[in-house]
């Protein structure tokens, strides 16, 4: 029996890593992308420990590099053709799912954020997502597959210090809404996952990246906000919902014939989104400022 197939980007840690292993253990053929050889070896080692290494192909790809994205798509197509030949399937290769998971966060007040960092934020979280999608869409269309884009609750709610990150996720939401309708005639489902804070590396990495540039402002007008946000970021990097819940949500989406357009993880975060939509902006701003003591 031919295995279901999926490409997952950003599998060196966090959501991508746990989802790739979860699906591989469920006999999906997983093409997991990482940027570094060391990350590749660590993921393969984890797969061996879980006895699912035969279902995992780890591909090196920096998704902000156009040539590497093209090469990755060709490699996936070749591997799918080999899989079809082994399963004696006469059809042209198709890809059952793509999980655009790779991403990063640049923190800091917009006034102090460098334009280079803003460009890097949008390049990875928006432009690269589109590049990967375009490269793999022919394979997804061939299998009438599912495209899952990882947004965030921050793609619906923008708060101080993460404005650039939220901007990238707002953009990804807009692109996904357009794609969902554009690809409907091809029977390709487009789904957004909107997670809230989880103990992944993204927030600690964001904090470590931002703080050195912000040190000179510790005594400036943003001093209090920087202190509060630093505490929030460190807490987010240690707590939040279990990453396995994200992987389980992906499994649920892939098992659903007609998935919803959006899945908020955990479900309790729906209340936060609803509150933002219902309250007047002035009241919402007041509550955020009060929470942050700003």
Is 42 inside any structural domain? yes
Number of folded domains that form the chain: 1
**CATH code of residue 30:** 3.40.50.720
Is 224 inside any structural domain? no
Q: Give the DSSP H or E segment for 23.
A: helix 14-25
pLDDT, tens only, 101-116: 999 999 888 998 899 9
Is 73 inside any structural domain? yes
- The 8-class DSSP code of residue 267 comes to T
Is 222 inside any structural domain? no
pLDDT, tens only, 269-289: 999 999 999 999 999 999 999
Closest residue by Cα to residue 154 from 11, 17, 264:
264
Is 91 inside any structural domain? yes
DSSP calls for 107-162:
-S-GGG--HHHHHHHHIIIIIHHHHHHHHHHHHHHHHT-EEEEE--GGGT---TT-
pLDDT, tens only, 7-37: 999 999 999 999 999 999 999 999 999 999 9
pLDDT, residue 240, reads: 73
User: What's the CA gap between 43 and 48, in Å, rounded?
Assistant: 9
User: What's the CA gap between 45 and 61, in Å, rounded?
Assistant: 19
The boundaries of the domain holding residue 66 are: 5-200+242-281
Determine the number of helices (DSSP H) and then strands (DSSP E) in the chain.
11, 7
Return the residue matching tokens 């798509």. 73
pTM, to two decimals: 0.92
To the nearest whole number, what is the mean pLDDT of the chain?
91
pLDDT, residue 203, reads: 61
Give the pLDDT band (50/70/90) at residue 258: very high
Tokens standing for residue 251: 């499994």
Instruction: List active site positions.
Output: 165
Is 287 inside any structural domain? no
Give the pLDDT band (50/70/90) at residue 90: low
Give the pLDDT band (50/70/90) at residue 224: confident
Q: Give the burial string for 209-238 (b: 16+ CB within 10 Å, else e).
A: bbeeebeebeeeebeebbebbbebbeebbe
């Amino acid at each position: 029996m031919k295995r279901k197939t999926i490409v997952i980007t950003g599998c060196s840690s966090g959501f991508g890593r746990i989802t790739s292993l979860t699906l591989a253990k469920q006999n999906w053929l997983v093409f997991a992308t990482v940027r570094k050889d060391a990350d590749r070896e660590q993921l393969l080692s984890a797969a061996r420990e879980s006895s699912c290494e035969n279902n995992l192909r780890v591909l090196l790809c920096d998704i902000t590099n156009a040539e590497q994205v093209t090469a990755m798509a060709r490699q996936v197509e070749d591997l799918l053709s080999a899989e079809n030949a082994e399963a004696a399937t006469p059809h042209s290769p198709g890809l059952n799912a793509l999980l655009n998971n790779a991403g990063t966060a640049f923190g800091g007040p917009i006034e102090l954020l460098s334009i280079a960092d803003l460009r890097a934020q949008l390049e990875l979280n928006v432009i690269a997502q589109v590049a990967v999608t375009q490269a793999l869409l022919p394979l997804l269309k061939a299998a009438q597959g599912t495209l899952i884009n990882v947004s965030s609750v921050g793609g619906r709610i923008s708060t101080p210090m993460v404005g650039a990150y939220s901007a990238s996720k707002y953009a990804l939401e807009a692109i996904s809404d357009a794609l969902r309708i554009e690809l409907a005639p091809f029977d390709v489902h487009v789904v957004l996952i909107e997670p809230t804070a989880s103990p992944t590396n993204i927030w600690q990495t964001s904090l470590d990246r931002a703080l050195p540039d912000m040190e000179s402002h510790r005594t400036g007008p943003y001093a209090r906000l920087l202190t509060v946000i630093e505490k929030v970021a460190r807490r987010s990097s240690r707590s939040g919902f279990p990453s396995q819940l994200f992987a389980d949500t992906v499994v649920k989406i892939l098992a659903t014939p007609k998935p919803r357009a959006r899945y908020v993880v955990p479900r309790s975060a729906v209340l936060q989104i609803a509150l933002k939509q219902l309250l007047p902006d002035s009241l919402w701003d007041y509550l955020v400022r009060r929470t942050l003591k700003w």
